[in-house]
Amino acid sequence: QKTSNFLALILLERLSKYNLICLLQYTEQEKDPKFWNAWAQRTLKNALTLQELNKNKAKNLILFLGDGMGIPTVTAARILKGQLNGQSGEETQLEMDKFPFVSLSKTYNTNAQVPDSAGTATAYLCGVKANEGTLGVSAAAVRSQCNTTQGNEVTSILKWAKDAGKSVGIVTTTRVNHATPSAAYAHCVDRDWYSDNEMPVEALQAGCKDIARQLFENIPNIDVIMGGGRKYMFPKNMSDVEYPNILKHSGTRKDGRNLVQEWKNHYVWNKTQLLSLNPNNVDYLLGLFEPGDMMYDLERNTESDPSLTEMVDVAIKILKKNPSGFYLLVEGGRIDHGHHEGKAKQALHEAVEMDRAIGRAGLLTSDHETLTIVTADHSHVFSFGGYTPRGNTIFGLAPMLSDVDQKPFTSILYGNGPGYKVINGARENVSAVDYKGNNYQAQAAVPLNAETHGGEDVAVFAKGPLAHLLHGVHEQNYIPHVMAYAACIGEYREHCMSPSGSAGLRPAFSIVAVILSAARLLC
């Protein structure tokens, strides 16, 4: 009976629209060697054009950070993107796949082989490796020890860009005071000090500041800030505008400050307000769309909550008005949360949405003057395998039973996490549950309340001025140094000036960029 049920499930999967399209669209042409040879030759021709390197000075800098987006996640997201478009999936290109330069980043923290998002953020934003759990401080600082903060602060590329006269922005799907965005502006020995409510009394008495407060005080006039985290900006128990009288969403601040009121610039808290803005009339924007993290894209209210792509679109349109250019940090932060919860479907849809945002950014900028980098802070113990056939839905079953317990298993599995389930002393039979559901927790080898990060290297995709400097295998803290060098900011201002006082790097000529961009669109 078990075997027949399993075979029925497999048959349904094989007859799914993905497999059917795969069989009809790809099988015949892929049997011909000319198909593969022609594809490779087109790729080679394109690669040969990269020999003329882009050595322009970068006017604009964009960093897309997929939190927890390890290489297996990138591959699975690629397949999902294709399948969402009615294709087999494997042959699809993500927007990041189109970037000409790819390298690997070593993600370890100074005190951790498998890192956390705070120490890694300090690396790829501030240019120095740090201890896990700490933000914007060197490895001399000790987590949760307030008295190790002073004298160990390190500044970020966002500040270097602001000091150089560029506009700067932060867009995230997490709280704006979560680990990744916080390292851009905060100096904090504990990533969990979101507001003064989460801080120990001793730390407050010693003069340490919460992260939300630092967002508004450390780098005055950050031009664009968008994400979640509303409750950390308001006085304790102040009712939330979207979820009135729900205590867990109410304000948390013990100091009584209303940081949003102190902002004194454009503030929005829903999609309608955001999209009604005319970017030409907005210089500074604070958008806080949820009390905590923003909703998963699969669960997002499309009427009231903006997508990451929509936030990026508005952010770039505001920032690009500055003739000196801009720096923008974009985080697809809930990829990480989906994996921690063992909910691969949520994580992969978050990754696909970030890829859409990458595409939108590409349409709004030019590679001739904008250095764009896509990377991850760390990986996860997420995998997919099981000898699945071409076009198998990414959330589907492997095409065989386990030869140990004679039960089916999904292609996607975790090394550890909440998906570990034992029923009557044996592994759960996935054919009895909805393994394609949005919140299905994929099976895990080791039981944990939350799945863990992975320790392997992550990919770094780069395009634009001096993108070729991201090659081979590098320490994670190398990334902001490349970005600063390309834009002539921070410690890298002088190399852009020759003895005669002229720029050592060529400025990108906008008219040329426009013509070449138009030509690409016409091809």
- Feature table: binding site for Mg(2+): 67, 178, 180, 331
Q: Are 349 and 378 in contact (CB under 8 A)?
A: no
* Range 445-448, long-range pairs (CB < 8 A, 24+ positions): 445/413, 445/414, 445/415, 445/416, 445/420, 446/415, 446/416, 446/417, 446/420, 447/416, 447/417, 447/418, 447/420, 448/416, 448/417, 448/418, 448/420
Q: Are 225 and 285 in contact (CB under 8 A)?
A: yes
Instruction: Give the orientation angle of helix 344-364 with respect to helix 308-319, to 10 degrees.
Output: 30
End-to-end CA distance of the chain: 56
Question: In the Cβ-directed half-sphere of 357, how many Cα atoms lie within 13 Å?
Answer: 35
* Range 270-279, long-range pairs (CB < 8 A, 24+ positions): 270/242, 270/304, 270/305, 271/302, 271/303, 271/304, 271/305, 271/306, 271/310, 272/303, 272/304, 274/226, 274/306, 274/310, 274/311, 274/314, 275/306, 275/310, 275/314, 277/314, 279/314, 279/317, 279/318, 279/321
Q: Are 397 and 10 in contact (CB under 8 A)?
A: yes
**Residue corresponding to tokens 């589907």:** 396
Q: Are 451 and 342 in contact (CB under 8 A)?
A: yes
Please state, in angstroms and as integers, the Cα–Cα distance from residue 58 to each residue in 61, 95, 157, 170, 373, following that order.
7, 20, 14, 19, 12
Question: Would you list which residues are annotated within the binding site?
Answer: 67, 178, 180, 331, 336, 340, 377-378, 453
Q: Which of 88, 105, 117, 195 is catalytic?
A: 117
Look up 117 and say whether it is catalytic.
yes
Question: In the Cβ-directed half-sphere of 245, how many Cα atoms lie within 13 Å?
Answer: 0
Backbone angles phi, psi at 153, to 5 degrees: -70, 145
Question: In the Cβ-directed half-sphere of 418, how many Cα atoms lie within 13 Å?
Answer: 13
Question: Would you list which residues are annotated within the binding site for Zn(2+)?
Answer: 67, 336, 340, 377-378, 453
DSSP 233: G
Q: Which residues are catalytic?
A: 117
